[in-house]
């Protein structure tokens, strides 16, 4: 059984946990860790997890809301960090590595086995050095994660087809962004081809996927200034042809609680 939960989702920090249970104790990974150490520990406790139970942290890219707490957590708890060479180089250039942390490099789109979890990376267009997103699997169920992507591509849609669960970026509503208070350069960055997905494009992406097995769809990385949960929910529900209450939303403070596949 694969289950997953979120500790936080949004521009002030992202962290998702996935777990595959087994008789020998199972495997747990964090996907990104953009929270301060104590905050991560407190939120793990909320989900009934000790920090020592985390086997690895998979890092999607170097932006602070994803990588800001990775090395601090790994150094404190002896956790393995899995990342691309590009992400590693970017974090090194910013002086954010901590010596002694165990590393494993992600090469291209090669799947990495971490205990009972297979993590399959795929490349995405985003303004980072070598960003990836992941499909996690226990060999049967597949959970896809997609945030921090400026444009959908056929490659991304292929990687996310036939999933059992999907956590999908719904960063902004176009009207709220363009009529909002952000400076023009930032609006252009967010809405650009290497920025973030708006509700409408996320809905279109979801509509393009093979969705017959999807049991969970959760909107994530919502901007607190430029989006509203009900707008994201409506866009994803329209693409799924389901009731809005069936769509989950990941919250900045609360994340979301355990979901099982
Ligand atoms: Zn982000
Ligand atoms: Zn980013």
The average pLDDT across 3-22 equals 97
Taking the centre of ligand 2 as the mean of its atom positions, its distance from the CA of residue 207, in whole angstroms, is 24
Taking the centre of ligand 2 as the mean of its atom positions, its distance from the CA of residue 69, in whole angstroms, is 14
Taking the centre of ligand 2 as the mean of its atom positions, its distance from the CA of residue 133, in whole angstroms, is 11
Q: Greatest CA span in the chain, whole angstroms?
A: 54
The average pLDDT across 9-26 equals 94
Q: Is the pLDDT of residue 25 over 90?
A: no
Q: Considering every ligand atom, which ligand is closest to the CA of 128?
A: 2
In sequence order, what are the beta bridge partners of 167?
Answer: 145, 218
Instruction: Tell me which residue of 129, 121, 110 sits closest to 194, measured CA to CA.
Output: 129
Q: Please answer whether residues 210 and 197 qualify as being in contact, where contact means their C-beta atoms are separated by less than 8 angstroms.
A: no
What pLDDT does residue 247 have? 98
The 10s digit of each residue's pLDDT in 37-63 is 999 999 999 999 999 999 999 999 999
Q: Please answer whether residues 28 and 49 qualify as being in contact, where contact means their C-beta atoms are separated by less than 8 angstroms.
A: yes
Taking the centre of ligand 2 as the mean of its atom positions, its distance from the CA of residue 64, in whole angstroms, is 8
CA distance 156 to 18: 21
CA distance 212 to 37: 39
Q: Considering every ligand atom, which ligand is closest to the CA of 124?
A: 2
Taking the centre of ligand 1 as the mean of its atom positions, its distance from the CA of residue 221, in whole angstroms, is 7
Q: How confident is the model at residue 196 (pLDDT cuts 50, 70, 90)?
A: very high
What pLDDT does residue 166 have? 98
Taking the centre of ligand 1 as the mean of its atom positions, its distance from the CA of residue 231, in whole angstroms, is 19
For the whole prediction, is pTM greater than 0.85? yes
CA distance 16 to 35: 11
Q: Considering every ligand atom, which ligand is closest to the CA of 150?
A: 2
Taking the centre of ligand 2 as the mean of its atom positions, its distance from the CA of residue 243, in whole angstroms, is 30
Average pLDDT, the chain: 97
Taking the centre of ligand 2 as the mean of its atom positions, its distance from the CA of residue 260, in whole angstroms, is 27
Structural tokens at position 53: 């139970």
DSSP string of 133-157?
EEEEESSS-EEEEE-S-SS--HHHH
Taking the centre of ligand 2 as the mean of its atom positions, its distance from the CA of residue 7, in whole angstroms, is 17
The 10s digit of each residue's pLDDT in 227-249 is 999 999 999 999 999 999 999 99
């Amino acid at each position: 059984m694969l289950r997953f939960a979120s500790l936080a989702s949004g521009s002030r920090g992202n962290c998702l946990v996935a777990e595959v249970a087994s008789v020998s104790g199972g495997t747990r990974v964090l996907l990104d860790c953009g929270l301060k150490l104590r905050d991560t520990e407190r939120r793990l406790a909320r989900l009934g997890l000790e920090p020592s139970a985390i086997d690895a942290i998979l890092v999607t890219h170097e932006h602070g809301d994803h990588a800001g707490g990775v090395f601090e957590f790994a150094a404190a708890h002896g956790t393995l960090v899995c990342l691309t060479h590009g992400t590693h180089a970017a974090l090194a250039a910013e002086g954010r590595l901590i010596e002694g942390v165990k590393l494993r490099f992600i090469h291209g789109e090669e799947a990495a086995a971490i205990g009972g979890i297979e993590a399959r990376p795929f490349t995405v267009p985003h303004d980072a050095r070598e960003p990836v997103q992941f499909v996690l699997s226990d060999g049967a169920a597949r959970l896809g994660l997609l945030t921090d992507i400026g444009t959908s591509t056929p490659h991304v849609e292929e990687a996310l087809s036939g999933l059992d669960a999907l956590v999908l970026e719904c960063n902004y509503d176009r009207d709220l962004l363009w009529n909002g208070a952000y400076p023009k350069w930032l609006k252009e960055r967010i809405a650009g081809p290497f920025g973030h997905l708006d509700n409408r494009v996320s809905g279109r992406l979801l509509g393009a996927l093979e969705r017959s097995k999807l049991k969970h769809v959760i909107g994530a990385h919502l901007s607190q200034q430029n989006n509203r949960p009900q707008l994201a929910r409506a866009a994803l529900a329209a693409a799924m042809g389901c009731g809005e209450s069936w769509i989950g939303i990941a919250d900045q403070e609360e994340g979301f609680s355990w979901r099982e596949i």
